Amino acid sequence: MKRWNSVSRVALIAAGVLCVSACEEPKVDVATYQTLQQCLADINMVRSDCEKNHAAARKQHASVAPKFASARECEEEFGRARCEKAPQTTSGGGSMFMPLMMGYMMGSMIGGRGYGNAQPLYRTRKDPGTFRTADNKRAGRSVGRTQVAKSSTARPTAKRSSRSRGGFGSSGRRFGSAAT
């Protein structure tokens, strides 16, 4: 019976870390700005990179930003006066709300071809100093040319618009633990 590599498992347990996510992840070069003007004001940045990436991020914003059925729910997450009406509606015709775009992040392209793969950034009420992507991945606290974890630069996902919730779970309320 092959014995599991006891040293590394116990070390992981002792460190309170059983997984890779809390450990170091490779970082990549990005450029992050709160506004188009801020990017244009950075002498290290080329005008066309600032503009085309800002436009690309804005274009994605309505599709990828998290959606809420009320302004209150959105502001609970993102802060007062930090939300706007989304172009989408619920299937019942009601309004939906999304956080304001608070910045954009672009990745450094290989071969010195400037910047691309832009995406919009947001800030939550509870952690306003940190930029987050539409999929709630942390994208650092700095403005300008900086580095973030590679997984934070992944393409954000387009959001659905749920018609209803709660179609699972009623048996659990009746029976308790699922485990056997």
Partner 1 sequence: MKRISVEERPALAEAAARHEFEFQEGIGIPFWDETNYYQFTEKQIDEDLVKPAEEIESLCFEVVTRAMEDETVLQRLGVARQFWDLIADSWQNQERNLYGRMDFSYDGKGPAKLLEYNADTPTTLYESSVFQWEWLEEAEKNGLLPAGCDQFNDIHEKIVEALSNIGVQEILHLGANRDIEDDMGTLEYVSDCSKEAGIMTQVLAMEEIGIDDDGRFTDLEENLITTLFKLYPWEWIFAEEFGTKIASSGTRFIEPAWRSILSNKGLLPILWEMFEGHPNLLPTFFEDDPAADSLGEDYVRKPLLGRQGSNVEIYRDGDLLSSKGGPYGQEGYILQAFDPLPNFSERYPLVGCWLIASKAVGMGIREDGGLITGAEANFVPHLILD
Site for partner 1, rule CB under 8 A: 1-6, 9-10, 13, 16, 18-21, 66-67, 91, 135-136, 151, 157, 159-180
Determine the 3-state secondary structure of 54 from DSSP: helix
Which residue in this structure is represented by tokens 């170091």? 24
Degrees, nearest 5: CA angle 103-107-113:
130
Q: Nearest approach, Cβ of 112 to partner 1 (angstroms)?
A: 30
Q: Nearest approach, Cβ of 169 to partner 1 (angstroms)?
A: 3
Q: Which is nearer to partner 1, 25 or 51 (CB)?
A: 25
Q: Which is nearer to partner 1, 81 or 179 (CB)?
A: 179
Task: Provide the phi-psi class of 140: left if phi over 0, else alpha when psi is between -120 and 50, else beta.
Answer: left
Q: Which is nearer to partner 1, 5 or 44 (CB)?
A: 5
Q: Nearest approach, Cβ of 78 to partner 1 (angstroms)?
A: 12
Q: Nearest approach, Cβ of 70 to partner 1 (angstroms)?
A: 14
8-state DSSP, 103: E
What is the C-alpha end-to-end distance of the chain, expressed in Å?
Answer: 28
